[in-house]
Structure 1
Amino acid sequence: MTAQASQAPNFDPSFVDNLTPNVAVQFLDRVATSGSKEAFRYPRGEAWESVTWSQVGDLVEKLAAGLLSLGLQSEQRVGIVSGTRYEWILADLAIMCAAGATTTVYPSTNSEDTAYILGDSESKVVFAEDDEQIAKLKEHKAELPHVGKVVTFDGTVDGDWVIGLDDLAKLGEAYLADHAGVVEETARSIAPDQLATLIYTSGTTGRPKGVRLLHRSWVYEGTAIQVQDILHEDDLQFLWLPMAHSFGKVLLSAQLACGFATAVDGRVEKIVDNCAIVKPTFMGAAPRIFEKAHSRIVMMQAAEGGAKEKIFNKAFEVGIKVDKLKLEGKSVPFMLNLQHGLFDKLVFSKVRARFGGRVRFFISGSAALNSEIAEFFHAAGILILEGYGMTENSAGATVNHPSRYKIGSVGHALPGSEVKIGENDEVMLRGPHIMAGYHNLPEETAKTLTSDGWLHTGDKGSLDADGFLTITGRIKDLFKTSGGKYVAPTAIESKFKAICPYTSQFLVFGSERNFVVALITLDPDAMAAWAEENGMAGKSYTEIVTSDAVKTMVGGYVDELNSRLNRWETIKKWEILDHDLTIESGELTPSMKVKRNVVEGNNKARIDAFYS
């Protein structure tokens, strides 16, 4: 039996029949429509520089012509090995306009995997951020026979294999002098089903797989957001997400469709500071960002203590009560409303100010967001719209709408696409956003895509009577205890993160065992603040998190978690690791997802000892 979601309410899906043919034309049309308006702003030292759509259009034309002058042919791949920055977007738009296909590589990817991705994709040109990324390419140059030229943003040029972005623009200027109008002509020749992007999934096991995404997929994604009237030209996005990830890329598609401006800075440690300066109206983020912000706010108030902490706690008690009444369609009693207004001035306005004070909503994706954290921010007047998708469907499959949302769900299917629940409660997707397949992996493609166009997601979920989708975890992550009880680890892990403000990661294990155990890592920033308050200032992270005082503190939170779980789910034994998980250690993907199998493998002896 399968249950199928209806189309997103109130939206005519026929727009799919009239999509702009490709990303390049979508960009050129945006330049023509919004020429003098701001397109991007980006940091230069301590200041922010701003550029209009016309300025971006002029530069992209030169860079695209530069690629054409290097002999780039239709659908040939061009790699970008860089963090999120304005130049990344310029490079991607130039590749689109030259009819190439962008191959994305995270800057944190090691040299071997970088060489594998660029070799497997047969990339002809590579944009490399700096000398660190250039060194990876030089180390494996013999394995990259297709790479004819490297274009660097900040690195050292050699006048031969490695040139600068300005050098590419000059090549383009010279090419345009002899081939006037070639970029627009090339752009308008691109068919909707031509390859636009090759994104290699960082994966939690084995070699990364190249996901083939077409021009129509990105155009559809942006247009599906635009027709919902969620975002407009007067919005301002703050973009920090990795552009090598589909979540970051789909936000660029939305910008081309809707015409808003974007402030770009990929430095994760600067997110909150940048929000206060930029004052965005919306931002996309992974749940870890909201978890950290929630923890920071809660701990700051706990450190204040006394009357301030009591006011803070009472404010959120009132805020959540008011939210509950409103979401149920009930009126708010006069005195409660009065209290809420007072607490909004005293508490909630300060929480909103941390993000610049103008945020209309955040979009959360790439992993599950805990409902309690969403409710916390909602009580403070900050709406987090959770969405769902994966690289294989160009990032966006479902999303909540600002005027129609359910906290805990990931919303409705995008207009013009479908969601259904298949066997074993697997979420399945179909629509213009679905990939063309895995690069050079026909057998993997056949396993993932059905003959009638449905994508197997590997996620377990359910649809309610109103068509809202809820994700309950990865099917492969569900495990059964030796007592025959099923456990969904991600649901338990998410609950703990909402309870304990010091958590970085909480990982649950117990497959075919007689009870459930957990490995815990604590957030370094949060623990530094805890140490200051508890007489351990100046001690190392390892000393702090392995201390008896911290074990006792964390134990209290585990007890609270267990009080909310079924008996067979409760955590019987646990341990705090002496280090946090990182991308560099290989235990996190670049999009901050935990590589559960790697963590389990690295800690096999520790986990086995729980049961000995």
Structure 2
Amino acid sequence: MTNKGPAAAVTPLHAFYAHEQSHPDQPWLMQPDAEGKVQALTWAEVGRQARAMAGYLGELGLAERAHVGLLAKNSAHWFIADLAIWMAGYISVPVHPNLDAEAVAEIIRQGDVQALFVGEINEWATIRQGIPSGIPRIGLPTASEDGCLRPWESIIHSATPVSGSPVPEQQQTATVIFTSGTTGLYKGVMLSFANLAFVGRNNLRLFNVTADDRLLSFLSLSHIYERQVMEITSLYAGIQVHFVASSDTFMQDLRRARPTLLFVVPRVLDVLRQGVEQKISPRLLRTLMRIPYLRTQVARRILQRLGMADVRYLVSGGAPASVSLIEFFRQLGLAAAEGYGMTENVGYSHLGRPKRYRAGWVGLPNPGVECRVSDTGELLVRSPAVMQGYYNNPEKTAAALDEDDFLHTGDLVEMDHEGFLRVLGRLQDALVTSESQQVMPVPIELALQEHPLIDQVCILGNNLPLPLALLRLKAKVQDQLGKDREQVERALSDLLEETNEGLPRRSRLSCLVVVSDPWRIEQGFLTPTLKLRRSVIEAAYASRLSVWSVSGRPVVWADHNNE
């Protein structure tokens, strides 16, 4: 194997070998346990375990270029298993750890998975029932004890490691990522080593990555947004990746890791903002931020308590973020921006630039990305990051990739003369009322979500006289409804009136419907990046939508008999 260095590596595996050779004893992956003790895995140790596991995979008698599944929460050994799969010449198929048994079984079936790595899974006793009995199962160190899982440590100690440093061809498929987006229908996105390498190398300059940078991995690695930065970019940059012990320890792990590059989804940002606002009121904070002498001190203290004092680039992606959410962190002095991409282009398309921030706009095209806007307003993109196609689905592939190799994103956008992008929503999300009025729901949802009472919003309106908004209140508001309901209802009524004033008459909301049902990934209401699955939510409330829409009440309480 020849290699000019990690930054020039032709595949992520080449990059790994370069780091392993040049600084074998340098820690790369930082894995905490339940007690908070951190295990530092060096490049050499990762290589030792990955080669042993690759040797074991090679002894299983799998087909050439076999698909090997990864069903696990984030951990250092998720990375090691992925490297082992590649070293063995196989293709990795990540599976989100919060999916139900039916969804896991469907991805294993569609993905032709021949072996499966299993980590910590909350409902493993149920999930395992959907996994074909003939599939070999390997338990990561984080997995629960189970006789059907071959323990990681026993394999590492007994397997014959692969020899040398096996590398793939650039155009070989590296991974198949099954995404349902907001539709709920799974498609297997095939990404090559060349796709991943292009993004890894370009992220080095896009984020000005240095050897001193640190990352914190807590979003699911089954999603490309997390994986392309945490795994692929860290492989090219050689920077440390810290993990969280669990979702409950997120804040402690954030303070421990002190990341310099932080990648989040809007829901996480909102939780962080709420934590700040519990300590200091938004009005007082805005006042302090206008006082030059105090601004820096107050902001620094807040960021230190959050563990974000060293963050030099904060990116929100995976779902639309409200303007107020981004600007809350910008007022604290952080270079906060939005990013945009899809699994189909390794999550690499557009990014907000700290020095060219424009409120409400995602940002500019990334290096190497060409853009067009179709006659219908759909964004088309072309770059070396664009997928090979959908696994075993030539019809969907032909619909997504045109003859000029442009990816049809399915997103309705605006683009100005400088190339700044604003995403208005999915074309498939456009609502058509019974009056044949087309309504794009996302801008309305983002506007409503600015309100301090509201946690989640979903606009529905197909075949209704006027659209309506289903909304979930923030937990602290929900808890106080017993004594504050009248006050909350007045505030929501005012919000409805204010929102409708800015909408065309035939697109105005008939009412706001307050629901208490949780909208979670496990129930299918959200994607892994916490975007709403509108069709699933619509189906859940279909029998009551028409009644609510003509109730004549500005605010409807779904769990009470006032509809």
- TM-score, normalized by length of structure 1? 0.82
Q: Aligned residue for 1:60?
A: 50
1:129-149, CA deviations, whole angstroms, 9 ceiling, x for partnerless residues? Answer: 1476654564245x464x234
Q: Tell me which of 453, 462, 473 is aligned to 1:522.
A: 473
Q: Tell me which of 126, 151, 174 is aligned to 1:164.
A: 151
Q: Which whole-Å CA distance do the structure 2 matches of 1:132 and 1:611 have between them? A: 38
**Cα shift at 1:476:** 1.4
Q: Aligned residue for 1:572?
A: 510
Q: Which whole-Å CA distance do the structure 1 matches of 2:398 and 2:488 have between them? A: 49
| Match status 1:108 vs 2:120 | no
Q: Are 1:460 and 1:473, in contact at CA under 8 Å, matched by a contact in 2?
A: yes
What SS does the corresponding residue of 1:65 show, helix, strand or coil?
helix
Q: Are 1:236 and 1:262, in contact at CA under 8 Å, matched by a contact in 2?
A: yes
Q: Are 1:84 and 1:264, in contact at CA under 8 Å, matched by a contact in 2?
A: yes
Q: Are 2:300 and 2:309, in contact at CA under 8 Å, matched by a contact in 1?
A: no
Q: Are 2:138 and 2:152, in contact at CA under 8 Å, matched by a contact in 1?
A: no
Q: Aligned residue for 1:263?
A: 242
| Match status 1:82 vs 2:72 | yes
What SS does the corresponding residue of 1:210 show, helix, strand or coil?
strand
1:403-446, CA deviations, whole angstroms, 9 ceiling, x for partnerless residues? Answer: 44433222222222322212311111112111111111111111
**Cα shift at 1:71:** 3.4
Q: Aligned residue for 1:209?
A: 187
What SS does the corresponding residue of 2:39 show, helix, strand or coil?
strand
Q: Aligned residue for 2:17?
A: 28
Note closer, same or farther for the CA distance 1:560–1:38 as it changes in structure 2 (3 Å cut): farther
Which is bigger in relative contact order (C-alpha 8 A, separation at least 6)? 1
| Match status 1:419 vs 2:409 | no
1:481-533, CA deviations, whole angstroms, 9 ceiling, x for partnerless residues? Answer: 455554221111111212x22322111122344323111112325644xx3xx
**Cα shift at 1:26:** 2.0
Q: Are 1:388 and 1:397, in contact at CA under 8 Å, matched by a contact in 2?
A: yes
1:297-346, CA deviations, whole angstroms, 9 ceiling, x for partnerless residues? Answer: 335434xxxxxx65323235x3xxxxxxxxxxxxxxxxxxxx22323323
**Cα shift at 1:40:** 1.6
Q: Tell me which of 591, 608, 612 is aligned to 2:529.
A: 591
Q: Aligned residue for 2:548?
A: 610
Q: Aligned residue for 2:554?
A: none
Q: Aligned residue for 1:234?
A: 212
Q: Aligned residue for 1:350?
A: 302
Q: Tell me which of 111, 117, 120 is aligned to 1:121.
A: 111
| Match status 1:507 vs 2:447 | no
Q: Aligned residue for 2:561?
A: none
Number of residue equivalences: 542
Q: Which whole-Å CA distance do the structure 2 matches of 1:296 and 1:505 have between them? A: 17
Q: Tell me which of 490, 499, 522 is aligned to 1:552.
A: 490
Q: Which whole-Å CA distance do the structure 2 matches of 1:80 and 1:218 have between them? A: 18
**Cα shift at 1:568:** 4.3
Q: Are 1:296 and 1:526, in contact at CA under 8 Å, matched by a contact in 2?
A: no
Q: How does 1:449-468 map to 2 (within 5 A)?
A: 449-468=401-420
Q: Are 1:458 and 1:476, in contact at CA under 8 Å, matched by a contact in 2?
A: yes
Q: Which whole-Å CA distance do the structure 2 matches of 1:211 and 1:428 have between them? A: 17
Between 90-99 and 396-405, the greater mean CA deviation after superposition:
396-405
Residue 288 of structure 2 aligns to which amino acid in structure 1? A
Q: Aligned residue for 2:553?
A: none
Q: Are 2:32 and 2:38, in contact at CA under 8 Å, matched by a contact in 1?
A: yes
Q: Tell me which of 324, 349, 353 is aligned to 1:397.
A: 349
Q: Which whole-Å CA distance do the structure 2 matches of 1:507 and 1:591 have between them? A: 16
- Aligned residues: percent identity? 25
Q: How does 1:175-574 map to 2 (within 5 A)?
A: 175-176=160-161, 180-181=163-164, 184=165, 186-187=166-167, 190-228=168-206, 230-251=208-229, 252-265=231-244, 267-302=246-281, 311-316=284-289, 318=290, 339-347=291-299, 349-351=301-303, 353-482=305-434, 485-498=437-450, 500-524=451-475, 527-528=478-479, 531=480, 547-574=485-512
1:524-578, CA deviations, whole angstroms, 9 ceiling, x for partnerless residues? Answer: 25644xx3xxxx7xxxxxx689x44433343344444445545444433111102
Q: Aligned residue for 1:37?
A: 26
Q: Are 1:127 and 1:152, in contact at CA under 8 Å, matched by a contact in 2?
A: yes
**Cα shift at 1:364:** 1.1
Q: Aligned residue for 1:332?
A: none
Q: Tell me which of 516, 520, 539 is aligned to 1:601.
A: 539
Q: Which whole-Å CA distance do the structure 1 matches of 2:301 and 2:137 have between them? A: 51
Q: Are 2:219 and 2:264, in contact at CA under 8 Å, matched by a contact in 1?
A: yes
Q: Which whole-Å CA distance do the structure 2 matches of 1:492 and 1:448 have between them? A: 28
Between 556-565 and 245-254, the greater mean CA deviation after superposition:
556-565
Q: Are 2:36 and 2:245, in contact at CA under 8 Å, matched by a contact in 1?
A: no
Q: Which whole-Å CA distance do the structure 1 matches of 2:150 and 2:477 have between them? A: 43
Note closer, same or farther for the CA distance 1:233–1:573 as it changes in structure 2 (3 Å cut): same
What SS does the corresponding residue of 2:212 show, helix, strand or coil?
coil
Q: How does 1:139-158 map to 2 (within 5 A)?
A: 139-141=129-131, 143=132, 145=134, 147-153=135-141, 154-158=143-147
Q: Aligned residue for 1:326?
A: none
**Cα shift at 1:380:** 1.3
Q: Are 2:263 and 2:314, in contact at CA under 8 Å, matched by a contact in 1?
A: yes
What SS does the corresponding residue of 1:227 show, helix, strand or coil?
helix
Between 209-218 and 116-125, the greater mean CA deviation after superposition:
116-125
Note closer, same or farther for the CA distance 1:518–1:351 as it changes in structure 2 (3 Å cut): same
Q: Are 2:97 and 2:121, in contact at CA under 8 Å, matched by a contact in 1?
A: no
Note closer, same or farther for the CA distance 1:200–1:242 as it changes in structure 2 (3 Å cut): same
Q: Which whole-Å CA distance do the structure 1 matches of 2:347 and 2:190 have between them? A: 13
Q: Which whole-Å CA distance do the structure 1 matches of 2:184 and 2:299 have between them? A: 47
**Cα shift at 1:48:** 2.3
What SS does the corresponding residue of 2:81 show, helix, strand or coil?
helix
Q: Which whole-Å CA distance do the structure 2 matches of 1:412 and 1:266 have between them? A: 35
Q: Are 2:259 and 2:308, in contact at CA under 8 Å, matched by a contact in 1?
A: yes
1:179-238, CA deviations, whole angstroms, 9 ceiling, x for partnerless residues? Answer: 642xx1x22xx1111111111113433541111111111111111111335222101111
Q: Which whole-Å CA distance do the structure 1 matches of 2:44 and 2:116 have between them? A: 26
Residue 465 of structure 1 aligns to which amino acid in structure 2? H
| Match status 1:95 vs 2:73 | no
Q: Which runs of 5+ in 1 are unaligned?
A: 1-14, 303-308, 319-338, 537-542
Q: Are 1:370 and 1:408, in contact at CA under 8 Å, matched by a contact in 2?
A: yes
Q: Which whole-Å CA distance do the structure 2 matches of 1:204 and 1:605 have between them? A: 21
**Cα RMSD, aligned residues only:** 2.6
Residue 71 of structure 2 aligns to which amino acid in structure 1? V
Q: Are 1:242 and 1:266, in contact at CA under 8 Å, matched by a contact in 2?
A: no
Q: Which runs of 5+ in 2 are unaligned?
A: 551-563
Note closer, same or farther for the CA distance 1:101–1:201 as it changes in structure 2 (3 Å cut): same
What SS does the corresponding residue of 1:603 show, helix, strand or coil?
helix
What SS does the corresponding residue of 2:269 show, helix, strand or coil?
helix
Q: Are 1:279 and 1:357, in contact at CA under 8 Å, matched by a contact in 2?
A: yes
Note closer, same or farther for the CA distance 1:35–1:275 as it changes in structure 2 (3 Å cut): same
Residue 510 of structure 1 aligns to which amino acid in structure 2? G
Residue 117 of structure 2 aligns to which amino acid in structure 1? F
What SS does the corresponding residue of 1:471 show, helix, strand or coil?
strand
